[in-house]
Amino acid sequence: MIKGPFLARVFVIAMSDLFHLRFNIDVPIEDAERRFRNRIGNSVYQIAREVYQKMGGENLGSLMLEVQSYMGETHGRVFHTTEFDEAWHGLVKGEFDRCLQAIEGLHKGLRKIQFFVELNYEVNSALSLSEVDLGVSWKDGIFTKKGAKNLDDALVNGLLHWLSDPKYQNVLVPFKKGLSHFLVGGENPERRGDAVTDMYEALEALAGIVTGRPSNDLASNRELFISKLGLPDPYKKCLKNILIMAASFATHSKRSSSDVGLLFKKRKPLSISLASSQD
């Protein structure tokens, strides 16, 4: 497998880190799609070069054949990286939908030679860098349309923007780590447990800020934390149960993937409540 430097990239990017937001630049969806195609094109070129260097031109040609067949196009001779790059752009034709289809075909071919992990990282990176929500998500080698953009914004982008305030630095760092571990959890299930531990650390730091007792752990701050949020009684009970369950997950080294997924689902209302309470 490739172990190039781009594997070390972090793909969870706070809204305040993005150039167009720092300079208040509005980016039309057409430009965002074009930039996505270009970023992917650059990444595909890097991956093709790695394949050529490590496995030779014959495997590179077979890889392009996989993409062309997936898209229903005829096969053309490809042996060198430059030829692969030209063939890629010829398939995409500057169209966003064709780019998505080509990526899926490439992933299918890369799985056969165990290079697909790198493509997953690069696709997630391009989606994270996008100036506009492109309305698609990437998982298990395929794109799907997003079904709840507003919820995604509230749970991830909205919270990242809110936590970018310097006073929440101790919350933001583990929160971003948790998101990063959750993103790679599809390929590496062990990271899902790390995501829960990171999020618990972020919640503990937030509770310390809200209660004014930053040196206390979450267990000792739990009751005061809940009371400070001003939630209706049914939500207080729900939040208390979630915090107790979160503590159990965070303190055990072995966690099943299904249980971790359940915990994230149950914490969605909690994230929205926390953001609202600090406005």
Below-70 pLDDT ranges, the chain: 1-17, 147-155, 186-187, 250-279
Task: Confirm if 163 and 175 have CB atoms less than 8 A apart.
Answer: yes
pTM of this structure: 0.52
Residues paired with residue 136 on neighbouring β-strands, in sequence order: 145
pLDDT at 16: 47
Q: Comparing C-alpha atoms, which of 248, 271, 272 is closest to residue 260?
A: 248
Residue 136 backbone dihedrals phi, psi, to 5 degrees: -135, 155
Domain spans of the chain, in order of start: 5-145, 149-277
